[in-house]
Amino acid sequence: MDLARTACTGLLALACGASEPEAETVAAAAEPEAASYAGLYHVSGYTTVRRSGHQRRIQGTVIVARSAADAADPYTATFDLETEFETPDGPIQADVIGSASAAAETEALAGTAETRILMASIPGLDPSFPWIPGRLGPRVVSKFRMEPSPSEGGFRIEIETEAAPGQSYDPTRTTLRARRSAASPREHASKGEG
């Protein structure tokens, strides 16, 4: 009986991989990822029209999520930003909404985004005001780079934007300061529950 028990224990240990882990595996598991970009960010900054130099404030929320590590672009981002466009009738509020895909580079996250601009139909009115439809603005495409910025206490995001094919939009450059509100949207939701 003892021989059978010893044999079963030995087979179970072999099947479960009870051997000593390799030193490299233990070290790799103990090291945190060089830079984790996933999280919920509050962002603010300026968009500059390249041709005229005109600037406008922009602010809002960006959510960066980590996908499968073996994906070509293992990070995805969604964003909801607010800005104003100057018009002869006064400033028009606009929502800048879209999504992006990105990959980690040396000390940065870089990728591309597709964006839609929803503009208010009446100056001074929020574009999502109920019962007064907003105007759908141009589709734009962007290249962006997000990197840690210790001097600003968070991250810095640089965005180069131009019109999507068949659209009309003056190319812009946007610089945002990003402060992480939560390491993940789930963590942010759990903080709000307590």
What pLDDT does 18 receive? 42
> What pLDDT is stored for residue 69 in this prediction?
65
CATH number of 35-193: 2.40.160
pTM comes to: 0.71
Contact 161, 190 (CB under 8 A): no
pLDDT at 110: 93
- As a whole number of angstroms, the distance between CA 172 and CA 170 comes to 6
pLDDT at 135: 77
The pLDDT score that the predictor gives to residue 62 is 94
CA distance linking residue 20 with residue 36, whole number of Å: 30
Q: What pLDDT, on the 0 to 100 scale, is given for residue 91?
A: 79
Q: Which residue has the tokens 């990728």?
A: 111
User: Nearest CA to 137 among 90, 94, 78?
Assistant: 94
pLDDT of 22 > 50? The answer is no
In this prediction, residue 150 carries a pLDDT of: 80
The type of residue at 178 is A
DSSP 147: E
Per residue in 58-104, pLDDT (tens digit) is: 999 999 998 766 666 789 999 999 998 877 777 788 889 999 999 88
pLDDT at 2: 46
Encode pLDDT of 151-185 as tens digits: 777 899 999 999 999 999 999 999 999 999 876 54
Q: How many DSSP H helices and E strands does the chain contain? A: 3, 8
168 contacts: CB under 8 Å, gap ≥ 6: 138
Tokens (6 digits) for 39: 């999280």
Encode pLDDT of 102-135 as tens digits: 988 888 999 999 999 888 776 666 666 666 666 7
